């Protein structure tokens, strides 16, 4: 495994070993990797070890990331296919049947990562095959996260302190064929969650979203951002959703922000006399600027 200085230092950081880079030997790296594997093993309950027979494709150009993810999945008896480029990923998607496709956003730039995600989504629809596409990245740029959802990913896993548990849960909880979600949640940090909302056309969809938001707020989250870019129609009768979420966020000492609402949504806000109460922005940068004030 050829590692850069940054990757080597990251390995020792993850392993909890404090050592100067200039003094590191290949034996030290091996010991650090073993420690990381031991930590990953602790994330897997023994009752889950035989619970998944999923076929997984990992698309990432960094060997450290693919090592971490591969080691983690092997703990639940999943041996993933690993590729490093856009071209390799597209070739394998065409040749094999996968249950999950994990794509790092930067391959090494976001254009290639987004291209793989877009192809995987379009190929899934074209061939009527079932798999989930999951973006993985350490970015905190909400615009890039939104770009991933816009090309059809099912989930976005941020490389936060608990990203390993999130990946495990996705694979272990494998349940039937792919179904399009009405919203996708992205945990930005401990205080802020954003929802990329796909549909609010039925009362069941509104209730599902509201119940999820209430649960999230109970965990200590304060700020909720609803990305409504894809919502073109919205019955004014459902505007109580905005009132209730605004009150919940205010009670938690946080903020409720609507991102990129359509004219229809704005009309619903006006109908409920909320247009001067709830914060509305057009760009993600504006939302984050407001949260930091």
Are 200 and 99 in the same domain? no
| Range scoring the smallest mean pLDDT among 23-37, 79-93, 211-225 | 23-37
DSSP symbol at 151? T
* Number of compact structural domains in the chain: 3
Q: Which of 158, 180, 202 is the last residue of a domain?
A: 180
Are 52 and 133 in the same domain? yes
Are 101 and 195 in the same domain? no
Are 1 and 72 in the same domain? no
Rounded Cα gap, residues 245 and 241, in angstroms: 6
Question: Residue 189: which of 229, 142, 151, 244 has the closest Cα?
Answer: 142
Are 175 and 48 in the same domain? yes
Are 233 and 159 in the same domain? no
Residue position matching structure tokens 């995600």:
117
What is Dmax (Cα atoms) for the chain?
A: 68
pLDDT tens column, 27-37: 677 666 656 65
pTM of the model: 0.56
Are 151 and 89 in the same domain? yes
Are 81 and 188 in the same domain? no
Q: Which residues contact 66 (CB under 8 A, 6 or more apart)?
A: 58, 60, 82, 84
pLDDT tens column, 105-115: 988 888 999 99
Are 50 and 138 in the same domain? yes
Let me know how long the chain is: 293
């Amino acid at each position: 495994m050829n590692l850069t200085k940054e990757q080597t230092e990251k390995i020792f950081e993850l392993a909890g070993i404090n050592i100067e880079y200039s003094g590191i030997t290949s034996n030290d790296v091996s010991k650090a990797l073993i420690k990381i594997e031991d930590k990953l093993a602790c994330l897997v309950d023994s009752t889950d070890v035989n619970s998944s027979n999923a076929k997984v494709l990992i698309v990432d150009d960094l060997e450290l990331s693919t090592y971490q993810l591969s080691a983690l999945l092997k703990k639940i008896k999943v041996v993933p296919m690993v590729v490093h480029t856009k071209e390799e990923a597209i070739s394998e998607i065409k040749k094999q049947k996968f249950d999950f496709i994990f794509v790092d956003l930067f391959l090494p730039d976001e254009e290639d990562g987004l291209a793989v995600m877009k192809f995987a989504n379009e190929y899934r629809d074209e061939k009527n095959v079932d798999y989930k596409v999951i973006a993985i990245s350490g970015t905190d740029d909400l615009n890039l996260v939104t770009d991933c959802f816009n090309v059809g990913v099912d989930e976005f896993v941020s490389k936060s302190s608990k990203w390993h548990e999130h990946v495990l849960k996705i694979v272990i909880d494998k349940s039937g064929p792919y179904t399009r979600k009405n919203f996708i949640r992205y945990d930005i940090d401990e205080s802020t969650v954003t929802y990329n909302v796909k549909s609010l056309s039925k009362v069941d969809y509104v209730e599902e979203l509201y119940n999820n938001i209430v649960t999230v707020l109970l965990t200590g989250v304060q700020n909720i951002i609803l990305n409504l870019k894809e919502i073109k129609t919205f019955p004014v009768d459902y505007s109580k959703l905005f009132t209730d979420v605004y009150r919940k966020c205010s009670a938690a000492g946080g903020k409720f922000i609507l991102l990129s609402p359509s004219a229809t949504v704005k009309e619903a806000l006006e109908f409920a006399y909320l247009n001067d109460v709830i914060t509305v922005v057009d760009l993600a940068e504006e939302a984050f600027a407001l949260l930091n004030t």
